Chains A and B, each alone.
Chain A
Amino acid sequence: MNVDTHGLSGAYAVDALTDEERAAFEAHMSTCAECPEETQGLRAAATELTYLTEVAPPAALKSAVMRDIKAVRPLPPVQDMPPAQDEPEAQPRPVTSIADAGRHRRRNPVSWLLAAAAAAILAIGGLTAWHPWDRGTSQTQVSATQQVLHAKDAQRVAKTLPQGATATVVRSKSLGKAVIITDNLPPAPAGKAYELWFQTPRGTMDPAGLMPRDSQPSQPVLLKGDAASAIAVGITIEPATGSDSPTTPPIAVLKLA
Chain B
Amino acid sequence: MVHMSVVPPDDRGGATVPGNRYQPVRVGTDLGTLLRAAGRGDEAAFSALYDASSARIFGLVLRVVRDRAQSEEVTQEVFLDIWRKSARFDPALGSPLSWMMTIAHRKSVDRVRSAEASSRRETVYEAKSQERSYDVTAEAAERNINRERVRRAMGSLTDTQRGAVELAYFGGYTHTEVATMLDLPLGTAKTRIRDGLIRLRDTLGLQS
Contacts and interface: CB of A to CB of B under 8 A. Distances in A.
A88 interface: no
A95 interface: no
B103 to A, nearest CB: 8
B178 interface: yes
Interface in B117-148: 117, 129, 131-133, 135, 143, 146-147
B207 to A, nearest CB: 7
A68 B4 contact: no
Nearest to B131: A55
Interface stretch (A34-42, A119-127, A220-228): A34-42
Given A76-B87, A133-B85, A186 B201 contact: no
A247 interface: no
A14 B165 contact: yes
A60 to B, nearest CB: 8
Contacts of B173: 16
Contacts of A161: 4, 7
Interface stretch (A96-104, A139-147, A163-171): A163-171
A135 B169 CA distance: 25
B15 A71 contact: yes
Contacts of B133: 54-56
Contacts of A15: 105-106, 109, 168, 172
B143 A16 contact: no
A66 interface: yes
B34 interface: no
B59 A55 contact: yes
A16 B178 contact: yes
Contact of A10 (B12, B41, B79, B193): B193
B115 A155 contact: yes
Interface in A62-92: 62, 64-66, 68-78
Interface in B1-22: 1-8, 10-12, 14-17
A164 B109 CA distance: 23
B7 A234 contact: no
Contact of B50 (A10, A62, A157, A184): A62
Contacts of B6: 162-163, 251
Nearest to A163: B12
Nearest first, the 5 A-B pairs at minimum CB distance are: A10-B194, A41-B208, A57-B58, A45-B201, A16-B168
Contacts of A37: 208
A187 B11 contact: yes
A53 B7 contact: no
A72 B83 contact: yes
